[in-house]
Amino acid sequence: MRRILLVLLVLACSAQQVMAQNTPLSASPAELSAGKRDTLRAIGNLFERRRKSGKRWTYVGVVGVLAMVRALTSTRSDGSSLNAGGAAIIAGAFVGVPAAASLGNLLVYSEEHEDEVDRAYRAGQPLPKRIRHRLKKKDFE
């Protein structure tokens, strides 16, 4: 079943490329088909959703930094402080993971990259595989 779907996808992409050769390179919104307009709107929604997610992860990372600073500067009731292993766990879980997720979303789904994908799709090129697989039903609504 997967092979059949893969073959159909390849055929659809090939047909789209052949059809794209006959379309103008700078189509105005009025000249775009309804399907292309929907896809362009979905691409915009995807990029906006991912950028918002990157900003949220940034906030989580800032909170993690504050928690780490508090844990490193406070002392326990017995007079001891946080050991190096505990600091590494806090740094990794509350700072490293959010920072990586934040940077990934903010860099990969930047406005510049969105403009590149938008122009290429308007010019008749197929969507990149990574973008095509990330589009969800809610992006089309």
Tens of pLDDT, residue by residue over 91-108, are 777 777 788 888 888 888
- Residue 33 has a pLDDT of 76
- pLDDT at site 119: 92
What's the predicted TM-score (pTM) here? 0.60
How high does pLDDT run on average in the chain?
Answer: 74
Is residue 113 a part of any domain in this protein? yes
Look at the chain and report how many structural domains it folds into: 1
Mean pLDDT for the stretch of residues 2-30: 45
Identify which has the larger pLDDT, 89 or 116.
Answer: 116
> Higher pLDDT residue, 18 or 81?
81
Position with higher pLDDT, 32 vs 139: 139
The residues near 65 (Cβ < 8 Å, ≥ 6 apart) are 94, 95
pLDDT of residue 79: 63
Question: Using CA atoms, how far apart are residues 125 and 20, in angstroms rounded to an integer?
Answer: 7
Residue 16 in any domain: the answer is no
pLDDT of amino acid 22: 38
For 20, residues 6+ apart whose C-beta sits below 8 A from its C-beta are 123, 124, 125
Q: How many other β-carbons are positioned within 10 Å of the β-carbon of residue 41?
A: 13
What Å distances lie between residue 45 and 42, 48, 51, 75, 137, CA to CA?
5, 5, 10, 47, 11
Domain of residue 107 covers: 43-74+82-141
